[in-house]
Amino acid sequence: MSSPAPAPAPAAVVPKNIRGILLGVLMAMLLSMLDGLIVGTAMPTVVADIGGLDHISWVVTAYTLTTACSTPVWGKLGDLFNRKLMFLGSIVVFIVGSALSGQASSMGELIGFRALQGIGAGGMMAGAFAFIGVLLPPREPGRYQGMVAIVQAVGSIAGPLMGGFITAYLGWRWAFYVNIPIGLIAIVWCWLLLRVPPARRGKVVIDWLGITLMTAMISALVMAATWAGSTYAWGSWQILGLGAAVVVLLIAFIAAEQRAAEPLLPPRIFTRRRNFPIAAVLLTVAAWPCSAARSTCRSSNRPSRASRLRTLACCCCR
């Protein structure tokens, strides 16, 4: 007599107010997207007020660097502890960085506070996509991709417009202060509506070695991309040394992740699923035209201050 077939696993239930929940989550995603575009529009006024034109690219680079380094860390901490608390904590960090950036009195302070903003932005982006995966069954996310597309379109279009309006009528400091009320609304919204079970499981082991190696690798890569062709020649020992450091750190990072008990980036996601490696290759290939376009903004000669201010928007795309 054959044994009965096992009962199918119960299907995940989509919350009735899923659109309202996603709206609060995507509000935080929109906040991190708008910030870069608003600040980029306001940068000429910032330079005219506090100076520091020679270091202007680091206002964007610091934000991008810390966002890239912190995104997988926030995601892993959410898996180990509580996704909701990590997400709300990242919004708080972003708000604090925004408030401090609005109070900056020098370019060095602004760069440091923008780095703090980037740390929060990494958690906001990681949390938003994690919640979409947790709250929706595998076959459902496609039905709600329209909300994500609308958020991205609004951020791309409204960011420069808001930046120009805020800078012209309120002052450049409000390009950062505007994040505070939106962030507070997102916190209250998600605190009241978002219901996610805690993700902690057994003994927690944090991959400190992987975090350190990944941060160092991304930092070297970003610095090489920022300095090459502008501060240093492509064939200079500084750029070649940073390139060699990226390769060495990447090899060390892969080796560390293979041995870690709780790896920051489990190697299996690159081998067991074909979509991820293909997406990574396509993203890399698509980034080359953008990098080439940005490199045309650089010049081997040092232009006048007025000319550099006119091309500031192009340089801020680094």
CA distance 163 to 230: 27
pLDDT score at 93 = 95
CA distance 273 to 279: 11
Whole-angstrom CA distances from 122 to 66, 82, 90, 125, 166 are 7, 16, 8, 5, 25
Angle at 156 between CA 192 and CA 86, to 5 degrees: 30
86-123 exposure pattern, b = at least 16 Cβ within 10 A, e = fewer: bbbbbbebbbbbbbbbbebeebeebbbbbbbbbbbbbb
pLDDT tens series, the chain, 318 aa:
444 444 444 445 566 677 777 888 888 888 877 887 888 888 888 988 888 888 888 888 889 889 888 888 888 888 888 888 899 999 999 999 999 999 999 999 999 999 999 999 999 988 888 887 777 766 666 666 777 777 778 777 888 888 888 888 888 999 999 999 989 999 998 888 887 766 555 567 788 898 899 889 988 888 888 888 877 888 899 899 999 999 999 999 999 988 888 888 777 776 665 555 665 555 544 444 444 444 334 333 444 443 344 334 444 444
Whole-angstrom CA distances from 119 to 49, 50, 95, 210, 313 are 26, 24, 11, 17, 23
Please list the residues that pair with 228 across neighbouring strands: 232
pLDDT score at 101 = 93
Please list the residues that pair with 232 across neighbouring strands: 228
pLDDT score at 197 = 63
What does R_g of the chain's alpha carbons equal in angstroms? 22
pLDDT score at 317 = 43
